[in-house]
Every structure is written in C-alpha cells, then in structure tokens.
Structure 1
Amino acid sequence: MDTLDRLTADQRDKLQNFQAITNQEDLDAALAILENHGWDLQRSVHSVFEEVGTDDHLPEDAPQPASSTSTNSTTSGGLQRQTVSLWTLLTLPVTLPLRIAWAILSYAASFLPPSLRPIPRPPAAQTTRSTTPRDLKAAAARFLLDFEQIYGTLHPQFFQGTYTQALQKAKSEIRYLLVYLHSPEHDDTSGFCRQTLGSESLSSFLIQKNILVWAGDVRNSEEFQVSNILSATKYPFLAIIAPHQSSLKVVERIEGPCSPDEVIAAVTRVIEQVDPQLLSIRAERQAREQARMIREQQDEAYQASLRADQEKERRAREEREKQEKEREAAEKAEKNREARIEAKKKRKQHLTDTLPAEPDASESQLSKLSIRLPSGERVVRRFRADDTMQNLYDFVETRDLLPLEFDVDFVIVNTYPRKVYVNMEETLRDAGLVPNASLVVEEKIEEDE
C-alpha cells in the first residue's frame, strides 16, 4: 500500500492498464518494468511482447502455432542451442536443397491472385515475427490490407492501432472491445472470415452497439502474447472485453467456428449483463466530468475576477501615480511662482531705490509720456529722449500693477496704431515717443514677444 501511495494518479492509472494488458499480477514486477521505461505505457507493454519473440522465451503452457516444433521446450540455455546448431550442420546436405525448392515455390506463388496464394508458414526455428515499435503501429494497417486481399472488404471496422491503444480507447470511452485473434494456419479460419466476419448483419450490429473491434495475426509477437494473456486455446478466437471498475475485464470468450447469429447472441448477452455496470461507470465519469467542468468554470471565473481586480488595481495605481505626479508638478510650479514673486519684489525694491529722478521740465529733448496702468490709473512722467525702453519698463515696474498678478509679466503698447515695444535697447526718440505719447500697460501674452 505504501508503494501505491507514493504514485501519482496518472501513474496508478498506467499501472492498472499495464496489468490489465499484460496479465501481470506481480505488482513489484509491473512497477519495475514501468519505471525502467520512464512510465511510458506503450514501450513497457512492447518490452513484454518482445520477450516472446522466440520459443526460448515462451512459457511452457503457451499455445503454440500449428507449424511450431517442440525442440526447444524441454531443455534450455546454451547447451540446447549448441545441440541444435550441431544438428543443423549435420543435416545441411539434406535441408539445403529443400530450402532452395521452398524459396522457388514461394517466389512462383507470389504471381498468383491473393485469394489463391498459399498461406506462408514461419520456419520451424521461429514461431512469431519480432516487431519494433514502428512495426506495432503498422501491424494493424498491414493486417487490414492482407485480410481484404484474401477475404474481401466486407468485415467489421477494425481499429487501426495496437492492442494497447485499443484497450486504452475502450477504457477511456467506456466501450466494449471485441478482440479477434487471426490464425491463418487453422482450417476453420477461412470460412469464419468469409461467412462470420464477412456478414453484413454482424458489421451493422457492431456499429449499432458502438463496439470497438481489434484484430491481429497471432504469428506476430504482440498478437501471440495477446493470445497467451487471453488464454486462447482454439481458433478462430473472439474475446469480449468490457470496462470493469477502474480497469478492463474479459467477460466472454468465443472459441472455434461460429455463425454471425451466435456472435451477435453472445455479445447481446454480455451487453444485458454488463450494461448496468457500465451505466454506473458512465454516470460516475459524467459526474466527475461535470465536477471537473464546474471546477474549470469556477477557476475561470476566479481567474477572470482576479484579472479584473488586477486591472482595477493597475488603473488605481496609475491614477495614484498620475495624481502624485500632478501634485509634485503643482508644488514645483508653486515653488517656482513664489521664487519669481520673491525675485520681482526684490527687483522692484531695487528699482525703486535706484530709479533716476524725473528730468526738469526746462531741459530740452524730453519725452512726456502718459501711461495708463492696468488699474485704470494714469501716470504722466517726463523722460529724456535718449532714455531707452528699458528705462521706461523699469519705471513702470516700480508702480502698483494690480489687478495683474505679481508674477505676471507685462508689456507697454501704443494703442493707435497698435505697437508693442519689446526692444529694450531702443531709445524713446527712435521709438517715436518724442515729444509726447500715450501708452498702455497690458499683461504679456506669447504673441507679444
């Protein structure tokens, strides 16, 4: 129990599938095989099938194909192989011509139509054909092609995959699996394939009941191992496998020749007996699926709510950062304004203290200016004609310019024709303000520059 407790749910599921497929009841042995293959179920099952590639690896009670010999079933190890090799050398003068004749006959038979070709038998030294993982995937397609060439295209819809994949599909979809083990060497095989498997009523029945059908040639290593697992002792052989609790179970075997009606009757009996259990399994799975969908919907709703909260928090954070920047900018602007005001106050005081006295009226070359301030007050003052516009601006700056703010700049303009005086080095004479003029003080705007 401690061993199973440390496994994940996926590993426990693979362990159950592996034991169901290989009929391996030893838990430690099954775990060792799966761990050695990185919990790859397909590779683990294939490794078991590879072990039965030759007679040296077959269990003593395994059913043998009709053409196999029992030479290697009584002794084992290098001694047996050494004896066989010596015998082969001694009989070579006899067996070599026979082998050559067999090769010539096989080549000649390849030109006959598929239905008339003799069924090839494996040599006595090898009862099964070794397969690689790629061969296992191609075996179903090869079997279908050979079957249709010999027996025709009317047959059940064979699953195009390995036995392991068929079991996994049956379990995942909670379907019945009908397994057909094909042994061309048995006399009843041809009639069974043409009359029973070639029956339209059987094919329609299997489609109607949504039954998965897998077939394989027992001359291949995987299919031969399947025959051992299913305890096939007579051919043609059919087995009906159904989901049982958390694994799969063989619920019916049909061995020997039989009619389509007998197959249909057997499958119908199984369905009547097992369907209540399958309904329960389907209901449990549906409940789990619904629970999973509810969890997914809840998770999605939670994630959506989380994203909305995160987006809301992001916007709030951006708004806070924006307000903070605006506050900092306002504080900085206010500090700059206060600094300008303080600088202007100091400048105004300095100009007031250093402003030259108004020229005497008796002097020549004077400019008498009437200046209207922003408050409406009018100031009249004399300036020398050679005074600059800077002297005029300095005088105006010493006056009270309300309602203009203290930090606001001003300009001096001539209203008619309108002219803004901005050249501080220009003299009053050059500006056309001699002998007199009427001027206005206004708030400076950008276009006055």
Structure 2
Amino acid sequence: MDALTATQQHALTQLQAITNGEADVAQSVLESVDWDVQKAAELIFDTAPIAGPSVTPRSPSPLRTMESLELDDSRQGERQASRSRSRRAYSLMRYFPSYPTSLLSLLAYPLHLISSIFRFVFGILRIPIPQLRFASLNFYRPLPSGPSDPRSVTDRWVRALEEETGAVCISRAGVTPAGASSGTDAGPSSLTSRPGVSADSGEVFDEGRKLLPDFTLGSYEEILRLCQREAKITCVILVSEEHDDVTEFKSRPRSTLTDPAFVKLLHENEIIVWGGDVRDKDAWSAAQKLQVTTYPFVAFLALQPRRGTRSVSTSTNGNSTSTSPTLTILSRHQGHCTPPLTAPTSASTLTSHLTSQLLPRVLPFLERIRTTARERERDRMLREEQDRAFKDSARRDRERIQEKIEEERRKVEEGRRREEEERLEKERLERERLEAERQEGVKMEWRRWSRRTLVKPETKGAAGAIRLAIRLPGGDGRTIRQFSPDDTLTSLYVYVDSQLIPSNLSPSSDPVTPPSGTLTGEAAIESQIHAPQSETEDTSKAAADAWWDFKLVLAYPRRELAWAPHTTLGSIDGLKGGTQIVVEKIGNGKSKERGGSASPRGAGAASPTGITAQNDDDDEYDTESD
C-alpha cells in the first residue's frame, strides 16, 4: 500500500468511506476496474454475486462476466431481471465478497476441512455444535448500513417481497392499494402481525387483488416461543436468491406465496407465518436447525404430544396424564414449485396437505391445549381476583383499625389537652385569687390606717356644720354625723368606708403609718386612687369606684356624689343644711368579702366616733330637729 500514488490512495480512501470495507479488499476491487471509484462501487453494490466461488484479485471485471450471461434465452432473461429487482430491493441487507488473497484462502482450507469433518461426525451422533463459517473459501461480512436486529431484517425482507411480487400483506390490504409498499404504511416492527387495519377475509379475497400471507416480524426463536405460547400452527418459509426455483415460488403470476386459496387458508386458520432469506443470519440459522437442503423451503410446526418415552403421573381420580407437549416439525416441503399439481412447494400441494392431513390431525389437539390454557388463565384470573379482594378487605380492615387507633389517639390527646387547659385555668384563677387577696389585704391596711388617721372626732354645735344621715347598705343601719364645711369629699368617703370595716378588726390595732409611700393624710389616699394623667375622666372614675367599692347618692333628689380630690363639702350643692345619703355597693360581688361574717355596725353599736347608729325602722328623711 505504500507504493500507491496519491491519486490511488485518494480513490482507496473514497471507496473505503463508501463501503466501510477493509483496505486490501477495496484495493483489489479498484485494481480490477483500473482505479475507477464509481465502477468499483457499482461492482460491489449492484452486480457483485451474492454467493458462489470467491473472486480472484486482478481478475477480469465482473461486469464483463455479467454481460456474457445476458445472451441466454428469454426465460433466463426474465429470471435474471426478476433477480436483479429482488437484489435492488434487498440491497440494505446483502453480503458482498471480500476478495481474499491466495494466502488467506490457503490458510482457510484446512479449517474448512476440519470443520466439515466435525459437522459430519457430530451430525451423525446428533450432537449440537456451534456453526463454524468455513463453508467455502469466501469471507462474507454484512453491510454496516441499516439496523441489524431480527425484526427489522424480517421487515425489510417482507417489504422487498411486496415490491418484487406486486402484492400486499393481508393486514394492510384494507388500507393500501395492491403493489404499494412503504415504510410509513408498515409501521413499527413487533412480534405480532404486520400493522394495519384487519380486513375481513371474505371481502378482501373477493376483490381479486394479489395478497401475501400476513408475515409475523421477529426472530426465529421468538416465533417458536409465540407458537408454543398461543398453541398455533407455524409456517416457516425460507428462500435463497441463488436458486432458480425461488423466482417461480415468489414472482410467478400464480406463485405459491400469492395463491389466493393458500393465503386464505393460512389466514382463516390463524397460522403464524414467518419467513426470510438465508443470506440473513437469523434465516440461515433457522435453515441449519431445520436441516434445509434446497430452496424454496416450507415447514409447518406445532405443539404435539411427546413420542417415545413418556413420563406418566397419576391424578387424584386415578387417570394418567402425560407431560407437557413439545414443539414438533409436522411436515417439510422443499424444492421446485412446478408443475403446480405435483411439485412439493406448489400452492395446490400445500393446500391439499393442509386441508386433508395436517389441519384435521393437529387442530383438535391444539384446541384442547388452548382450552386448557384458557381454563388455567381463567383460574389464574379468578385467583388473582380473590387475592385482590382479600387484599382489599385486609386493606380496609387495616384502615378501619388505623382509624380507630387514630380516633383513640385523638381522644387521648384531646383529653390531655382539656386537662392541661383546666389545670392552667385553675392555676390562673388561683393566681388571680391570691393576687386579689393580697391586694385586698393591702387595701384593708390602707382602710384601717385611714380610719385611725383621717377620721377625726365629730365637733358638734360648730357654726355652719353639715349634718348628714348616712344609710349603710345591706340592712346594717344608718349613722348620723356632723361635718365641717371645710371637710373634703375624701374625708366623707373615708368615714363611710370606716363604717364598712368588719367589726372583728378592732380600731385599736389599726396601723399608725401608711402601708407604703412617704405621703401622709388625704394625699396618701388620693395617690392610691389617682389614675395616670394620660387616662380619661371615665378611667379615673372607674379607678375611684374600684378603690372605694361603693358610691354615695343623695336620697332626694337622687344624685350621685362622685368622688373627686380636693373638693370641700361646703362647695357641693345639696349638702348645705344637711341631707340624707344612701350608700350603694357597686355590684362586683365583694360586699360579703369586705363585710366578712360580722356586720360592720349592728343596731345600737357604737361607732368609732361615738355616734349611735339608728334603727332601720327610723324615718330616713329626718331633719336636724331630730
């Protein structure tokens, strides 16, 4: 290769890019056509023989050899033209010769001889061995273009068959005109019939169009598994373009593959049809397993009872049953398809064989298998339905149990929450009660201090004195006292408040100093009553009511004497000359608490100032003359 010129190296590179082949093969082909890349490509892809003896390098151009074959009779010309059309439609999956050198052929011959001997011996002993590809001195390799999976290869072969025969598969007969074939119509490959609209056999076959069997796409092993799973008859069709009988089998006007009676019989009996060209790996493997010797080849396979040694098992009722059936080759047909009435692969021979022998013998057994399979499937579905119902029932029971557990948990949590709320509420009420008692105790200390310090002895007969008759609340009687006009409203409230102190608290034990603060006199009381300056008048009145816990009301005309600091009694209208004042407790539920179990002053009891309380039967409108 180092001795090649630049032009020759460029031509070699171009041919390798086109064919993706080896350098020595491409060089041999280019040398045979005087380094013409176009002729070399045409030689490889269009006119290269598919099988046969190897081509010696530097031999005369294969194009000239093909031209010499065109001088044959007209029938041979028709066969050659049909074969050319098939090769063009099948160009994506062909093999081309690799033009081995003499040294490689010499090295391959001993291996070919040894493999043939091993195959012969192992074939007699019926020992399966791996297939060794040394059948000839040619070295084949598939073209790298296009997908190589079995389904795609089978689909390409069926498309090429449709183009060559001008027919269409049954499954597409209802939507595609006869003779049309395209990748769009075919749809994706699958392990079922070719995609399309299922057509009724009576309507399709009466139209007179050319039809092909409904080929199933997939590998040979997948077809066998499908045949076993569905318990149906399988028809395997294998062809080879190197045999002249294949053209008669496929493309003759009344060929086997397009014969209406044969195609209709396959379709009506739901026979699985699979085929291929032995140039493909999967079809070649099927041919080796079926021990094909010539082409075209047709074989029918189906499940059958085991022959020879049979293992028998006894059921509960005493009947004996054999083991599961095995896949069996029912019949093999190979060779020429003419004349139509006696040829082994003609349509009439195959149709007669199916109707008179194979179908009557095989279909009852397959129907029993399918019936048994349907019963097993029905039992399986029934068990699945029972299992599903049991699982659903168990799931519902679990859900109900879980709901009850959740409900109990919610109840427990709700009870704990209520107990916690009640506990917190009790603690709050207890704190409020203790705080109220503390405040009441502090307030009582202020009241007793006020009674000792701010309630002055009464001065009778003073000029301008104001005589007030004070009726106490709760039937505790009334008291009469004279006040000076210079006395303040605070002194009046302090006096009334001192009358409400429980009698068990002796005046002699009253404190002499204020409980808190540095102020003395009425200013100390006013400092305890006053609300902050920022609060309104209503807020100040509420603070005063909360401190005194009572209000003073003139009897007639009824008018409240609201407490106010620094207000003298002489400046209040209605008090001059004396009057009747009624003490009304503010409704906050503290009257009993303030009064205790003992009355502040009973009838006839002596007041701290020595004024005698009047009986409740006295007229409450007494004048000063009383």
Provide the TM-score with structure 2 as the length reference: 0.43
Tell me what 1:163 maps to: 220
Q: Cα–Cα, structure 1 residues 348 and 191, in superposed 2: closer, same or farther, change >3 Å?
A: closer
Aligned to 2:351: 264
Q: Report how far residue 441 of structure 1 moved.
A: 2.7
Unaligned runs of at least 5 residues, structure 1:
1-64, 72-87, 107-111, 372-376, 399-418, 444-449
Instruction: Tell me the CA shift for residue 162 of structure 1.
Output: 2.2
Question: Are 2:96 and 2:142, in contact at CA under 8 Å, matched by a contact in 1?
Answer: no
Contact 1:216–1:223 under 8 Å retained in 2: yes
Q: Tell me which moved more, 328-337 or 150-159.
A: 328-337
Amino acid at match of 2:275: A
The residue that corresponds to 1:149 in the other structure is 163
Aligned counterpart in structure 1 of residue 401 of structure 2, from 313, 323, 328: 313
Select the residue among 259, 273, 276 that pairs with 1:213.
Answer: 273
SS in 2 for 1:276: helix
Q: Within 5 Å, which residues of 2 pair with 1:5-404?
A: 68=52, 92-93=57-58, 95=59, 97-99=60-62, 101=64, 115=82, 117=84, 123=97, 125-126=137-138, 130=142, 134-153=148-167, 154-193=211-250, 194=252, 195-244=255-304, 245=324, 247-256=326-335, 257=337, 258-268=345-355, 269-343=357-431, 346=434, 350=438, 355=444, 356-357=447-448, 386=490
Q: Give secondary structure in 2 for the equivalent of 1:134.
A: coil
Contact preservation (8 Å) 2:234, 2:272: yes
Rounded to whole Å, the distance in 2 between the matches of 1:105 and 1:420 is 131
Q: What SS is found at the alignment partner of 1:441?
A: coil
The amino acid across from 2:416 in the alignment is E
Task: Give, as a single letter, the amino acid of the residue that structure 1 aligns with 2:243.
Answer: H
Deviation at 1:255, TM superposition (A): 1.9
TM superposition shift of 1:386: 4.8
Amino acid corresponding to residue 351 of structure 2 in structure 1: I
Where does residue 204 of structure 2 map in the other structure? none
Q: Which has the larger radius of gyration?
A: 2
Cα distance in 2 between the residues matched to 1:301 and 1:290: 16
Whole-Å separation in 1 of the counterparts to 2:265 and 2:220 = 22
Q: CA deviation at 1:282?
A: 1.5
* Conserved? CA contact 2:300–2:331, under 8 Å: yes
The alignment partner of 1:313 has SS state of helix
| CA drift at 1:439 | 5.5
Contact 2:82 2:247 (8 Å CA) reproduced: no
Q: What is the CA–CA distance in structure 2 between the aligned matches of 1:379 and 1:199, rounded to whole Å?
A: 133
Amino acid at match of 2:411: Q
Equivalent position amino acid for 1:205 in 2: L
Deviations 1:253-279 (A, max 9, x none): 122223323212222322221223222
- How far, CA to CA, are the matches of 1:365 and 1:287 in structure 2? 120
Cα distance change on mapping 1:320 and 1:99 into 2, 3 Å: same
User: Which residue of the partner structure matches residue 27 of structure 1?
Assistant: none
- Cα distance change, pair 442–302 in 1 and its aligned pair in 2 (3 A): farther
1:208 deviates by 0.7
Tell me, yes or no, if the aligned pair for 1:182 and 1:217 is still in contact at 8 Å.
Answer: yes
Letter in 2 for 1:117: S
Q: 2:237 is paired with a residue of what secondary structure?
A: strand
The corresponding residue for 2:569 is: none
What SS does the aligned partner of 1:196 have? coil
Identical pairs, percent: 24
CA distance 1:378–1:162, change in 2 (3 Å): farther
The 1:127–1:246 alpha-carbon spacing in structure 2 relative to 1, beyond 3 Å, is: farther
TM superposition shift of 1:221 = 2.4
Distance in 2 separating the partners of 1:233 and 1:367: 147
Deviations 1:198-223 (A, max 9, x none): 11122111111111111111122221
Judging changes above 3 Å, is the alpha-carbon distance between structure 1 residues 328 and 217 closer, same or farther for their aligned structure 2 residues? same
Q: Please give the per-residue CA displacement for 1:181-210, whole angstroms capped at 9, x wherever unaligned.
A: 112222322222232111112211111111
For structure 2, the 5+ residue unaligned runs are 1-48, 70-78, 88-94, 98-135, 168-210, 305-323, 338-344, 459-465, 480-487, 503-537, 553-559, 564-580, 590-626
Q: Secondary structure at the match of 2:291?
A: coil
Q: Return the alpha-carbon distance in structure 2 between the equivalents of residues 247 and 262 of structure 1.
A: 26
Letter in 2 for 1:330: R
For 2:161 and 2:539, locate their aligned partners in 1 and report how far apart those are by CA, in whole Å. Answer: 108
Structure 1 residues 310, 420: CA separation in 2 closer, same or farther (over 3 Å shift)? farther
RMSD: 4.8
1:113-154 Cα shifts (integer Å, max 9, x gaps)? 974737669657448764887243321122112212222212
Higher relative contact order (CA 8 A, sep 6+): 1
Q: For each residue in 1:401-434, what CA deviation from the matched residue of structure 2 results, as whole angstroms up to 9, or x when unmatched?
A: xxxxxxxxxxxxxxxxxx9999446776999635
**Mean Cα displacement is larger for which, 132-141 or 256-265?**
132-141
On the 8 A contact 1:188/1:235 being kept in 2, the answer is yes
Summarize the Cα distance change of 1:379–1:178 in structure 2 as closer, same or farther, 3 Å threshold. farther
* 2-structure distance, mates of 1:137, 1:349: 99
Question: In the TM superposition, what whole-angstrom CA distance separates every residue of 1:358-382 from its partner, at most 9, and x where no partner exists?
Answer: 96698899997987xxxxx788999
Matched, 1:433 2:562: yes
Q: Structure 1-normalised TM-score?
A: 0.58
Give the secondary structure class of the aligned counterpart of 1:142.
Answer: helix
SS at match of 2:333: strand
Residue 212 of structure 2 aligns to a residue in which SS? coil
